[in-house]
Each structure stands twice: as structure tokens, then as C-alpha cells.
Amino acid sequence: MIPGVDSMLRNLFMSPPAMPRRATMFGPSSHSETPMRPNVKRQRSTLLTGEIEKPWTTDKDAYVTTSYWVTIGVAFIGVIGGALRCYFGWKDVPRIGNVCLIMEDDFNTLDKTIWTHDVEMGGFGNGDFEITADSTNNSSVQDGKLYIVPTLTSDVIGYNNIFNGYTYNVSGCTSSNRTACGAVSNSSSGSVINPVMSARLSTINSHSIKYSRVEVVAKLPRGDWLWPAIWMLPVNNVCGPWPASGEIDIMEARGNGISYQHRIDFVRASLNWGPFPFLNGVAKTCGWWAERRKTYADGFHTYALEWSPEFLRMYVDTRLDHMLQLSFIEPFFKHGDFPETIANGSQYMVTPDPWISSTRNVAPFDQPFYLVIDLAICFDEVAQSTQMHEGGSEGSVAGSISKGSRLVHVSINMSARNALLS
């Protein structure tokens, strides 16, 4: 064997010699277990080592101190003042006080001992052109709800008879005015039979209250010409014929669509009072509330009246949403600012004060009133003047009478002060 060759052959099958590991800053080298660190120069501290001066603790400025405490004092006074304002505002809210429930109806049945139907076709002085009937087609109770539904008279007597050659007599008419108990259609004279039938119910023969609380839960109808109302009339016209003895409208609305002013998303409350119908002070005692995103035909709402010798409030759902709030701080005759004289034919007369004998500012609303609920169909000059009952010129009456045109009541309760029940 040639010297040196054998050792070279053996070296071919040997493991290569270990090479020294390259030193990096991330780990130790093969020569040292100590990692390499960058050479960073330490910054010099700027911390003060001597005594720190605080001149504001020794040299106090009187103006600065005064302004500081004045600011604190004003803020404290503001908090106390706000709290007192909230307290006295809450304390001064008029309240009706304790009341006694005298009537409640959840409409499991239509209780005829509570409700009386007004049956006639005279228009009630408003130009209504419905026949108020006591038929179950127009007022009935289903599933704990009272439905007042308008229907077409032509469904009963035929379409042609509405306009000519038919005599209609109201069965069971309750009006003392016989002309309100029947009509004759005549195409030559333009006389027609009232084209719609509806219902009007009241508690005139069962319950009346003075200074009270009334709550009615209802869903309003939708449709042109429709005029739903929840209101109250005096049991006796002590101060004279309407409106001298007053009228309390807890809720009135119109079924018209969005193209009309004060439409189905508005509800109104008002008081009617005055020496004569043409001197009605309703414009001074009325108010509105509006539903911004829905209408009052989309669901049930609570319409309420709170009435005392000192104030009257009518609201929808909550006291914060009051349609009308009135304090009786002056007599109604003074509040009306009526003219001193009025024309009486060819003569002039002094405007009479129908409440002059009363010693309280609340008159004529110091008498017992009964509740009325109805769904009228109306359009005339009187209604237009109040901007309340405009008719739907865009559609016919028949087009307005549909499933959505019914007035639905869920519950009604009437409460009164114990000492003032009537």
C-alpha cells in the first residue's frame, strides 16, 4: 500500500470536520456562550436632582383663588337651582287626585244597560250624511273589541233608490225632530237618501260625571270622509243650547290620507263653548298631537281626559303628549274676547254672557257630562271652517268604506272624585 493513499481513502468516508459556528447577534457562537449585544450608548438623565421650586405654594394670587372658588360656587348653585326647578316643576304639575271608578267596559258583550244608540239621519247639526243605526252590521262586539263599521245604504235599499223614488223611514228613531227620522229621494229636487250607515253610542241613560278621568283605548279608521270622535255632552243644557253649555272633545280625527292637512296621523282635542254657534270659542281651546312615523290607524292608543275645577288636560298615551292643557284662571266669557254687541236682525244687542250667574271660572264645564263615541261621515261648510272634517274629493264614499274604515274600541273606563259623582 502506498503510504498516505490509504489514509486518504479512509478520509473519504469520514464525517467532515466540525466548522466553527458563525457568530450572530441572535445566539451564542461556537467559541462563547455569551450572546453579542449592540453597543448602545446610555442617555444622560434629565431628572432634576436639586430642590424643585413651587412658587404657587408660596406666592398665592388672591384673584386666582377667588376665581377658583367662584367657579366652584357657581357650578354648585347651578346644580342646586336645577334640582329645585325640577322639584317645583314636578310639584306644580296639576293633578286630579284620588278618583273612584264608576264605569268600566271591556266589551265582552255590548251592554245595553250602559250604551244607548242614537238612531236618526238628521246630521246632528254638522252636516253628517250617515244614518246612525243600531244594527249589528254597524256596531258589534267581537273578541273583546267594540267595532263601529260604516256600511253602504245601497246594500239595504238598492243603489237606484238612493237617488230617486224611495221613501226611507228610520226604524226606532230616537230624535225628537221628525225630519231626522226619514227622507224621500227625488232626482228632480236633488234629494237623496243618506248613502252611508254607521253608529253612535252614548252613556246618556246610564253614566255621567263631573270633574273626572276618562280613558278610552281605540284604533282609528282609515278612509276619506270618516270622522271618528270620543267626546262628551252635558246632561242638561243648564247654560243654554249648544255651545253655551259646553262640549268636551277628548279625541277627534280624520281618516284622510297623506295628501290632506291634519290627516290620519293627527288627533285633536278641544272644548266648544260660546254664547251662540257663530260665537264658538273652540279656536282658543284646541290642540293637536301627531304620530311622526305611523298613523293612528296602525295600532291602539289610549285617549284620556283629566278634568278638575282648576284645570283640564287631554292627552294621548302619556301625559307628556297632551293635546290640550288648560288652567281655569279666568272666566270663559273674558277668555273668549267676544264682541260687545252683535247683530240681531236689523237691531244690535249686547252680547249675552251665558255664565254670568256662575261664581267659578270653570263654567260651563261645571256640570255633569256623558260620554259619546261615534264614527261619522261628514263634509260641509261648518266642518271646513274648523279644518277638521274635509271630505275626500279624490275618491267616492263607496271607495272609502272598506275593512280599514272601522273604528275599534278595546276598553273604556270613567272615574270621578268621590264627592263629585253624579
* pLDDT score at 419: 39
* pLDDT score at 388: 37
Tell me whether residue 185 is in a domain: yes
Q: Is 289 strand, coil or helix?
A: strand
Tell me whether residue 199 is in a domain: yes
Tell me whether residue 382 is in a domain: yes
**Is there a cis peptide before residue 243, judged by omega within 30 degrees of 0?**
yes
Cβ partners under 8 Å of residue 33, min gap 6: none
Q: Look up the domain containing 294 and give its range.
A: 101-416
* pLDDT score at 2: 52
Q: What is the CATH number of the domain that holds 346?
A: 2.60.120.200
Domain count, the chain: 1
Per-residue pLDDT of the chain (422 residues; tens, 9 = 90+): 555 555 554 555 555 655 555 555 555 554 545 556 667 777 888 887 778 887 777 777 788 889 989 999 999 999 999 999 999 888 877 888 888 999 999 999 999 999 999 999 999 988 899 999 999 999 999 999 999 999 999 999 999 999 999 999 999 999 999 999 999 999 999 999 999 999 999 999 999 999 989 999 999 999 988 999 999 999 999 999 999 999 999 999 999 888 888 889 999 999 999 999 999 999 999 999 999 889 999 999 999 999 999 999 999 999 989 999 999 999 999 999 999 999 988 899 999 999 999 989 999 999 999 999 999 998 644 344 333 333 333 456 665 666 568 888 888 898 876 434 43
Cell of 409: 274600541
* pLDDT score at 345: 85
Q: Which amino acid is at 359?
A: T
Q: What whole-number distance in Å separates Cα of residue 181 and Cα of residue 116?
A: 17
* pLDDT score at 7: 53
8-state DSSP, 16: P
Tell me whether residue 258 is in a domain: yes
Tell me whether residue 163 is in a domain: yes
* pLDDT score at 52: 81
Tell me whether residue 113 is in a domain: yes
- Opening angle at CA 312, ends 306 and 315, nearest 5: 60
* pLDDT score at 106: 94
Tell me whether residue 10 is in a domain: no
Cell of 50: 436639586
8-state DSSP, 206: T
CA distances from 246 to 77, 78, 382, 389 (A): 48, 46, 18, 20
* pLDDT score at 387: 37
Q: Which of 117, 124, 120, 123 is nearest to 146 (CA)?
A: 117
CA distances from 208 to 103, 112, 312, 369 (A): 9, 16, 17, 5
Tell me whether residue 78 is in a domain: no
DSSP 166-203: EEEE-TT---S-GGGGEEEEBTTTTB---SEEE-EEE-
Cβ partners under 8 Å of residue 123, min gap 6: 129, 180
Q: Is 136 strand, coil or helix?
A: coil
